[in-house]
Every structure is written in structure tokens, then in C-alpha cells.
Amino acid sequence: MKNSNFYKKTAQALGTPVFIYWEKRLETNISRIKQAAEHHLANRELGIYIPYFTNSNPYLFSIVRKHGCGIAIQSTEEWHQLNAHNLADKLIASPTVLPQEELKFLLEKGVRVNLSSIDEVEWQINNFPEKNIFIRLDISVDSSQRTGIKPWEITGLRKILKKNNKALAGVHIYVGTLSTFEKIVKYTDIVLALVSREFPEIEMVNLGGGFYYNYEKTFNQHFDWDAYFAMLAKKIGTYNLSPNMKFEIEPGRDVFADVGELVLSIHHVVWNERGTICQIFTDGSYVYMPSATVRERKHQLLFLDSQFKESSDRSISGWLNGSTTLSSDFLLPVIIEVPLDVKSGHFVIVKDIGAYGATQHLEFLNRRPAAEALITDNKVQIINERGAMTDKIRSVPQKPIFIK
């Protein structure tokens, strides 16, 4: 079936706005990483853990699990959501500094936690003395990351470990989302130099996520995994790291970005006096794609006519409006190129929205969540129903409840 038929079938069955995910693309993205790793890292073990919050639909994570990847989580809510779909069997936690009850919960559930402060290390040693110690390190310039043990805290960490007769088992870093290849090379170099100097005996180095994805391109948008693993293999050799040392990565954006698209209906088009710029009113809103991580939202768009036929003309400028009263409710915060014949009854597809898309839905402005569909083997499945009209007030009791 052609893509346009899937748009048609989904939009007609579920209405719009609706997110569509393509299983095949997810599989391709995972195997691209795996193949590159296998090629360059030979027999060295690489764990791929996809962060749940980058997409948050359990059905997509069952595909992730089917392909041998684990899931990175950051909170007890995420554990419960995955457990409800029997997906809590291969988890790691790379959280920020956690409330103690959450840390306790995750450790009790057998989730390996990358501890992000010295206090957490001490707490784990005191409360779970049998568990190995994995830490998150902040190796950024000026140690400016929000969480992570700073390089100058390593001496103190060593003392604590020695006093308690514990060895460090692993380190974790996070470079920052949409990091360029050069930045990633730099951070890889810093952490491997640190590991070889300070902790050559550790069993695990987790290099986190943040791999660049190019939203502005229409092809070759993905991170260069081949060059990345070639670089990693070379540095492992340069620093003469133990053959037993395992590696992990936590890519989110690169794995999900082009897997998802948002389909919107155009219900109104208003032109300026000279007919040069139009306001396109859709049934979307920025609350469906607020881009907490990248404000520019540089997504590619596809315009479809009422028969779901793609328009190649882009000769006019316009704004893509949301459907709420907020004056800044634009789907993309910039002027875009649109077809001259754009009109009510047409559709617009926002591409590359599989990562940090539906998962970011804001309840502010009170729009109910959009439905989500998955295309598998030429079939369309509903993997999230459209939210209810009253979702926003689902926990508001009929009457206030007095606390005794």
C-alpha cells in the first residue's frame, strides 16, 4: 500500500490530529546502529537502551524489546507504565537525583541505577550494601550539567568506596541532546581518558544519548553510526581498555525521530490583503508537539489534498496555526512554504515527530491527547486511543475531599 493510503485510512478511522508510527522505520533505525556496532566493535558487548520518555508508547517499546534493546527509565512512573505492558524486564535507570523512596523502589525491583550524586552513592551503600555502584559523571566544560558527580568529587568518591570496601562498577555520561559528532568525539575522549586513568577495572561505560539528527534534511538525517563506532573502537585501542569492559548507549531521538508523523486537518485558510501570506488553521496545536528539547521545531511538512494526494508546489508563504486561543499557538514557530492551492479539507503531515512528539502533549490549553496509530505489515493498528473530552480533569473529584 502507498503511504498516502495509510494516511487516508488512519485519518478516516481515527480522525485528526493523529500520530502515525511506522514499525519498519523503527526496525531500520535499530538495525543501522546494531550493524555498525557489530562491524567495528567486534566481540565487545554493546547494550542499547532506548529512553522510554523519548516516545512513551509501550507498543513501540515492545518493538524495541523484540529487537534486543533494553529500555532506559528515570522514574517509578515509567517502571509502572512499562510493567503494565510486561516490559520491565530489561531496564536501567539514568535518572537525575531521585527522591529516596524512588531510588529504593528501583533498586528493589532490580533496576541498575546510575547514581548522580555522592549522597546517592552513600545512601545506596548504606541501604543496599550488596549492590554494585554505577555513577553518572558530569564531564561537561565547567561541570555545568544539572546532575552527575563532578571530576573534583572523584577523590571523595574513592575514599567512600575504599572505606566500604566497594569497587566502582560503571560510569555513565550524557553529552546533551542534538550533540554534533565533534562534541560526541570530545566527550568520548574525556570519559575514556578518565576511566583508563582512574577506574581501569570497571565493567561498564555508558555513553548515553544525544546523537545528532538533522531535521532540516529530507534524506540522510541520521547520526553517522558507522563513523561513531569506528571512532569508539579506535579510542578503546588508544586507551588500552580491558577487553572485559562493556559499553552501552542510550539513543532516543535518532531511533524514533523519523518513525512518527502527525496528521492534521486544515479547516480554514485566510490570506493577507495582497494574497502573499496565508494563515492556515489546523485542528492541531503546539500542545501536541511543544518541543521541550528543541524550541525551533524544524520539522519537514507534507501537504495533502482532500484525496490525500501530495502537493509538490510550495510557492506561497504561510503560518501553520493551532486551534486554541493562545496567540502564540503556531505548530512551527516560523513562516513556512505552502502550496498555492492550500484550502480547507486538505491535510498537513508534520514529519520526524516520533521522538519528543506525542509524549510531550501538554494539558495546558485543555486539548485532549491525539490518538496514535502504528503501521505494521501493511496494517493500521490503534496503539493509543484519542483522549476523552474531560481528560484534563480526570483526577478532579465531583466534590472536594476534606483531609481528616
Q: Is 140 exposed, middle or buried (0-12, 13-18, 19+ CB in 10 A)?
A: middle
Q: What is the largest CA-CA distance in the chain?
A: 77
**Residue 51 in contact with ligand PLP, rule: CB under 6 A:** yes
**Residue 250 in contact with ligand PLP, rule: CB under 6 A:** yes
**Residue 318 in contact with ligand PLP, rule: CB under 6 A:** no
**Residue 54 in contact with ligand PLP, rule: CB under 6 A:** yes
Q: Which of 7, 61, 187, 211 binds ligand PLP (CB under 6 A)?
A: 211
Rounded CA gap, 372 and 383, in Å? 5
**Residue 7 in contact with ligand PLP, rule: CB under 6 A:** no
**Residue 359 in contact with ligand PLP, rule: CB under 6 A:** no
Task: Pick the closer one to ligand PLP by CB: 88 or 355.
Answer: 355
Minimum distance of ligand PLP from residue 263's CB (angstroms): 23
Minimum distance of ligand PLP from residue 136's CB (angstroms): 8
Choices 187-195, 209-217, 305-313, 396-404; region in contact with ligand PLP by CB under 6 A = 209-217
**Residue 260 in contact with ligand PLP, rule: CB under 6 A:** no
Task: Pick the closer one to ligand PLP by CB: 184 or 375.
Answer: 184
Q: How many residues bind ligand PLP (CB under 6 A)?
A: 15
**Residue 253 in contact with ligand PLP, rule: CB under 6 A:** yes
Task: Pick the closer one to ligand PLP by CB: 95 or 322.
Answer: 95
What is the footprint of ligand PLP within residues 167-196 (CB under 6 A)?
174, 177
Choices 16-24, 77-85, 246-254, 385-393; region in contact with ligand PLP by CB under 6 A = 246-254
Q: Which of 210, 260, 322, 357 binds ligand PLP (CB under 6 A)?
A: 210
**Residue 225 in contact with ligand PLP, rule: CB under 6 A:** no
Interaction site with ligand PLP (CB under 6 A):
51, 54, 72, 94, 174, 177, 208-211, 250-253, 355
